Structure 1
Amino acid sequence: MRKLLPLIGTPSGSHPGGRSAMTCRFRCGDACFHEVPNTSSNEYVGDVIAGALSRRSMMRAAAVVTVAAAGAGAVGVAGAPSAQAAPVAGRGHGGGHGKPSKSRGARGLRFTPVAPNTDDVVTVPEGYRQDVVIRWGEPILRGAPAFDPEKQTAEAQAGQFGYNNDFLALLPLRGEHGRQVLVANHEYTDEVLMFRGYDPDNPTREQVEIAWAAHGLSAVVVEEERGSGKLTPVTRHRLNRRVTATTEFRLTGPAAGSDLVKTSADRSGRKVLGTLNNCSGGTTPWGTTLHGEENFNQYFANSSRATDKRYGIGTGATERKWERFDKRFDVAREPNEVHRFGYVVELDPYDPESTPRKHTLLGRFKHEAATVRLTHDGRPVVYTGDDERFDYFYKFVGSKRMRHGNSRWAREHNLSLLDEGTLYVAKLSGDSPAIEIDGTGKLPRDGEFDGSGRWIPLVTATEDGAVSHVDGMSAEEVCVFTRLAGDKVGATKMDRPEDIEPSPTTGKVYVALTNNSNRGKAGYAGPDEANPRNSNKHGHVLELTERWNRADATAFAWSLFLVAGDPEDPATYFAGFPKDRVSPISCPDNVAFDDHGNLWLSTDGNALGTHDGLFGVATKGDRRGELKQFLTVPNGAETCGPLIQDRRVLVAVQHPGEIDGASVEEPASTWPDGPGTLVRPAVVAVWRADGRDIGV
């Protein structure tokens, strides 16, 4: 019998899961070493809000009721009430599985799984090939120089591919055969791995301005190599673009223009400079991309307010010391600047002169992603998670229909779709007695973790104005202090809700919950049926079926689709599929689907002692729950992206070499270019050597 995989310990100063302390330090500002921001009982948080929020009455209630009713073998290569929710029979731990067929696997997943490993390479299945598409620092704009880490400048970086790529999108390019537009997020910078001799206590202005330019987004046209899956950047293409921490953005929605977002530099409250810590995102049916601002709190210093504490904003200096060079990062000097970050950003990749937007109606919190589908009558629905221990996940339902076509009139209309509609937060209920949820992961008597839930409205906006559904909070307050609104209405505290994706084939919605080492500890929430394990270091995946399978429904049924960890651990579960035939997985993060309906999961912080990777899992049929590892990433790296096409898989290899004690002088990884070169985050393409579709 296969033994349990060894677990990573918790060395002094390290993350309690599989992340290094260095990753915690630069990516999220040591979020897991700070007090959990959500200390509410989810019954009443008036003491927190009092004195921080104004008490304005709700607006236009009758209009809102009308709108809400209407809208309701491996190869390594270097380099409504819940009672109304519809039941989901046979979809949880209880089975519904017949005996799996003897085929080579679910269609789309017919490859030999990669074994868990700790190799400093991207490892792909036998019979597959890979190539680096683009690396940090490669020039994409006209006039940008070739990357030279010893002579890097802020001006050069502003024309080069940014650092720590995360979300990826590929959009079609009409009239240019074999070309697509690649859009990437650049979540954060790790200055220790970027600059030789970096002094964290005394960064230079040039280093700070390089970091500003390395954040944000990149759009770059890529060209397919005929006969393979290789993609090559088309440098200096007219659509290539960099968006940085100093690019102008337009603030939209109920909070735009309010006193809560006005600053000394922007007295209109409608113009914001920059976007920070963009994690995952989504692609819209109208041809734009969405990007979630996540751990924005770590960039702001010297806060003393209760509302800021709920968002994890610190009372002292920041890690990067940006407040020394721009007062907008100092809350004591510019108190409202922090209210202008933590939103979903929308970019039009086909118009490099357009002003990106920040949509306040989608709420302000640590957005992991923003994924979109349409209702039966063409209105947008956006799902997004708040990546914090004991925080919530949300849904936005628009009230305006998408217009088809590529005219300027249609595109302008579609760019306003996320500014009218209703934002909801999820509340889940289990169907088993609380005594049967003991925190060990042991199944309740009915054989599955499942239940029902409802979407609770928080705020609705129309062309005539906006109204709050939360007592004591105005519409703009709900949009700026969305976490507090979720507290007040009793949303369910989850184990770090990250990416959320609806299946294009079944309509079911999948929520990745990465981990929560504080679940069940003294002073924190204990286990519940949707988060059934104490000290949950491996995470799980939730499956939602919205009532009548309608995207605008306000009720749903749910079950746990996967309970992650080593299959030998009795607390794990793989949708009822035999556990001796699946790959071990820990800390699911980003999710995507292929055209066969398989769910693909990338991991962040593998707590099983091996490197992070990308996994595919069947969601239907007699192979449901069959999970197979497709690739692994190098030392210290996280698997981001991912993007699954018929004949190509793309992943963003983020923070390679980010291991405690590493530096430019003492690297912990030589990926992607080998010994003697600087470790660099990069995008990787993987394809079958015979040119056929992935996994068939």
Structure 2
Amino acid sequence: MTTPVRMLPLLTSAHEGGRSSMTCQYRCGNACAQDVPNTSDNEYFGDIVAAGVTRRAALRAGGVGAAFVGLTAWTLPQTAAAAPGKGKGKGLAKKPAKGSALGFEGIAPTPANVDAVKVPEGFAWAPIISWGDPLFADTPAFDFDNQTPEAQREQAGYNCDYVQFHLGGAGNNGAHKGLLAFNNEYTNDELMFRGISSSDDLTDEQLEIIMAAHGITITEVARRNASSAWRWVQGGKRNRRLHTDSPFAVTGPAAGSAHLRTKADPRGERILGTLNNCAGGETPWGTYLSGEENFNQYFDATGAPDPDGKLKRYGITSSGRGWERVQDRFSVTKEPNEVNRFGWVVEVDPEDPTSTPVKHTSLGRFKHEGATIALTADGRAAAYMGDDERFDYIYKFISKAKYVEGDKKHNMTLLTEGDLYVAKLTGDGAADGEYDGTGQWLPLVVDGRSKVPGMSVEEVLVWTRIAADKVGPTKMDRPEDVQPSPVTGKIYAAMTNNTRRTAAQIDEANPRANNKHGHVTEFTEDGGDHGSLTFTWKIVLVAGDPNDPQTYFDGYDKSEVSPISCPDNVAFDGAGNLWIATDGMPGTLGWCDALYAMPVEGEDSGALRQFLSVPVGAETCGPTILGPDSVIVAVQHPGEVDGASPDNVVSQFPYRGDGQPRPSVIHAYRRHGR
């Protein structure tokens, strides 16, 4: 489709990490303005001795000036020039990498004030589904100025994030029919209704609409042919909305525990709703995993006692978003255990709209970016997870039972029981020219027993952050999406940023102070087995402007790569190329957020180039790579710019002529025959 281009004044009010103040308010409850929740005394430095000098001494020696300018204490030998054979003169920031499935030429970055979706030459894009689109045959069409809670519960939810796509499926087979599921992470209240400047301005009905706009949307999709875009099907048999009043079952050792019991649910086994669903993962048995991330911001903690610091450790310190006005459960003083019922990994069977979704307590409770699954050598399910908070951790769960091909009923029990670990990374020194080292998965729960002194299994799973603090894992720079490669089995984790890390706190796994651009780390588990408890690791991308000497693109020639900042979601195509979606580039580099592709194997490893960019104020989310010519992307919070409102519209995305920005899932595809 033709994309209008509309220029606006450049944004200047970004908060830490590059976000607008509106993003900070609604995405994470102004987390960047709060104290860092992790106050544990876990060490920042490894014990490895390199060239006769301890890492701590080497960093001190090189980092005195860095405290003032926010630079790393040391730089890699390959940051200024390419490694031998890696990209000299090839121009692979634009050209497809040799031997890869990346069939496009990279595009230039888009200035942050442009209201447009940009895709490579020869490609087109179109919206698949947008906020408010009706899901069921009798659902009313979206009407911005006449919204109701009843309609929103049957319409596509608001800010779309993680996306899962199934081709065909039960009762809907064929190459041109499918099923799409996506998270609805949060809402921009000031963009949803006119005349809103704070939650105090919201009516009770508007609060109920906002609550209904959270959760998960599932819809059937169809297309005319292989050269056309996918589009949602109103009235599809598998269409479904999960929102804040949808019932969820609870599994695992913490199910039914005293910590999950409330007045409305004295058994602690039935929870209403899912909140702030960010990333996720598709299981080998075809179900949908969703991570509950910044759930803390929805609870009014005013006057709530916190003698042991549990609320503070989870960032539950705000006055909420007004939801306690319509439901008492969002007041911590009135219902202190309700907050413990969020922060879990959710599993949904998208093929069965009558099934009850579940929250798996075995995977621990924290700010889950998502959860992705790989099978161990002996057939168990390993789930990889990041806790999206500055100085928090990366986790792994390994199921007790084994995967059985074709037995979906059995496989849907795999995440109910197993072992939970947290990662400790140790550097091996800078002498080898890479940020790399070894690591181990530290046990939290094994064989149904707590491995954390003074904490029961239930306590470890409900207050996983506190349990992890006690065993000494590595404090990371906002670990978000963690994904296994379907080709090599290596694990890739996005560290989005951490502007609070000082020069005295850098280590080889987090090598940059004032890390506003973030990095991506590769993990190789010993023996290539996802059941291993030891691994090696290396950083393959230190993001930023390639002209910045701190940046690193796996040794590739930096004159031939695209600028990138704030890696958030990661995904893979069938050839094993890494795709990276960003969150925060307008405030860090002055570009719109974007989607990139980067080979991670062979001589082209590190040849990062940009595939698309999203409009002003928007974030790139949930990439699903259907093939070299077909990509699905969630465009979240378009027009989320300070000062924007329904009467001061900044973005018209998805350009459907209705005058207001609407978060949407879009399909970018090659125009065949051109």
TM-score over 0.5 (shorter chain): yes
Q: Deviations over 1:217-259 (max 9, x none)?
A: 0110001220414012111111100000110001111111111
Task: After TM superposition, give the deviation of residue 403 of structure 1 in Å.
Answer: 2.1
Structure 2: state its 5+ residue gaps.
1-8, 50-75
What's the secondary structure of 1:124's corresponding residue?
Answer: coil
Q: Is the CA contact (8 Å cut-off) linking 1:294 and 1:367 kept in structure 2?
A: yes
Q: What percent identity do the matched residue pairs reach? A: 53
Partner of 2:382: 381
Partner of 1:313: 316
1:453 corresponds in structure 2 to 439
Q: Secondary structure at the match of 2:25?
A: helix
1:518-597 matched pairs, under 5 angstroms? 518-520=500-502, 526-597=505-576
Structure 2 residue identity aligned to 1:357: V
CA distance in 2 between counterparts of 1:263 and 1:99 reads 58
Asked if 1:506 is matched to 2:497, the reply is no
**How far did residue 96 of structure 1 move?**
6.6
Q: Is the 8 A contact 2:86 2:555 kept in 1?
A: no
Please say which of residues 277-286 and 669-678 is displaced more in the overlay. 669-678
| 1:66 equivalent in structure 2 | none
Q: 1:108 aligned to 101, 104, 114, which one?
A: 101
Output the amino acid matched with 2:446: T
- State the alpha-carbon separation in 2 of the partners of residues 256 and 589 from structure 1: 31
Matches within 5 A, 1:123-162: 123-162=118-157
Partner of 1:424: 421
Correspondence for 2:165 among 170, 184, 206: 170
Shift of residue 109 of structure 1?
2.5
C-alpha displacement of 1:212: 1.2
Aligned twin of 1:48: none
Shift, 1:670, TM fit: 1.5
Change (3 A) 1:623 1:451: same
Partner Cα separation in structure 2 for residue 457 and residue 191 of structure 1: 41
Match of 1:652 in 2: 634
TM superposition score normalised by structure 2: 0.88
- Whether the aligned pair in 1 keeps the contact of 2:426 and 2:437 (CA below 8 Å) is yes
- TM-superposed CA distance for 1:397, in Å, is 0.8
- TM-aligned CA deviation for residue 620 of structure 1: 0.8
Residues 491-533 of structure 1 deviation map (CA, whole Å, 9 limit, x = unaligned): 1000000001111111111010000000017xxx610000000
In 2, distance between residues paired with 1:299 and 1:413?
35
Q: Does 1:294 align with 2:280?
A: no
Aligned to 1:622: 603
Q: For 2:427, give the aligned amino acid.
A: G
Deviation at 1:377, TM superposition (A): 2.5
For residues 542 and 640 of structure 1, the distance between their equivalents in structure 2, rounded to whole angstroms, comes to 19
**CA drift at 1:667:** 1.3
Deviation at 1:460, TM superposition (A): 3.0
Counterpart for residue 496 of structure 1: 478
2:177 aligned partner: 179
Give the drift of 1:354: 0.8
**Residues 474 and 93 (structure 1 numbering): CA distance in 2 closer, same or farther, change over 3 Å?**
farther
Instruction: Provide the C-alpha distance between the structure 2 equivalents of 1:431 and 1:10, rounded to a whole number of angstroms.
Output: 41
Residue number among 605, 608, 611 corresponding to 2:592 in the alignment:
611
Q: 1:117 aligns with which of 102, 110, 120?
A: 110
| Matched-pair contact (CA < 8 Å) for 1:227–1:691 | no
RMSD: 2.1
Aligned partners of 1:168, 1:189: CA distance in 2, in Å?
A: 17
> What are the residue-to-residue correspondences of 1:239-254 with 2, within 5 Å?
239-254=238-253
Taking a change above 3 Å as real, the CA distance of residues 9 and 649 of structure 1, as seen in their structure-2 partners, is: closer
> Is 1:483 aligned to 2:465, yes or no?
yes
Match of 1:669 among 648, 651, 666: 651
Q: CA deviation at 1:97?
A: 4.6
Say if 2:569 and 2:582, in contact at 8 Å, map to a contact too.
Answer: yes
CA contact (8 A) 1:82 1:453 kept: no
Does the 8 A contact of 2:86 with 2:557 survive in 1?
A: no
Residues 629-644 of structure 1: pairs in structure 2 closer than 5 A: 629-644=610-625
Alpha-carbon distance, 1:126 to partner: 0.7
Question: Could you give the per-residue CA deviations for residues 95-134 of structure 1, whole angstroms, max 9, x where no partner exists?
Answer: 8752548584322224221111122111001111111111
**CA apart distance, 1:10:** 10
> Cα distance, 1:93 vs. partner?
5.7
Tell me how far apart the structure 1 counterparts of residues 352 and 102 of structure 2 sit (CA, whole Å): 37
Partner amino acid, structure 1, of 2:401: K
Give the structure 1 partner of residue 57 of structure 2.
none
Instruction: Return the alpha-carbon distance in structure 2 between the equivalents of residues 667 and 126 of structure 1.
Output: 29
Structure 2 vs 1, CA of residues 676 and 145 (structure 1 numbering), >3 Å: closer, same or farther?
closer
Equivalent-residue separation in structure 1 for 2:378 and 2:400 (angstroms):
10
CA contact (8 A) 2:87 2:607 kept: no
Q: Aligned in 2, Cα 1:676/1:136: closer, same or farther, shift over 3 Å?
A: closer
Q: Which moved more, 1:576-585 or 1:136-145?
A: 136-145
- Structure 1: stretches of 5+ with no match in the other structure: 1-7, 44-80, 84-90, 433-443
CA distance in 2, matches of 1:413, 1:666: 52
Corresponding position of 2:26: 26
- Give the aligned partner of residue 67 of structure 1: none
Q: Greater CA deviation, 593-602 or 669-678?
A: 669-678
Match of residue 98 from structure 1: 85
Corresponding residue for 1:49?
none
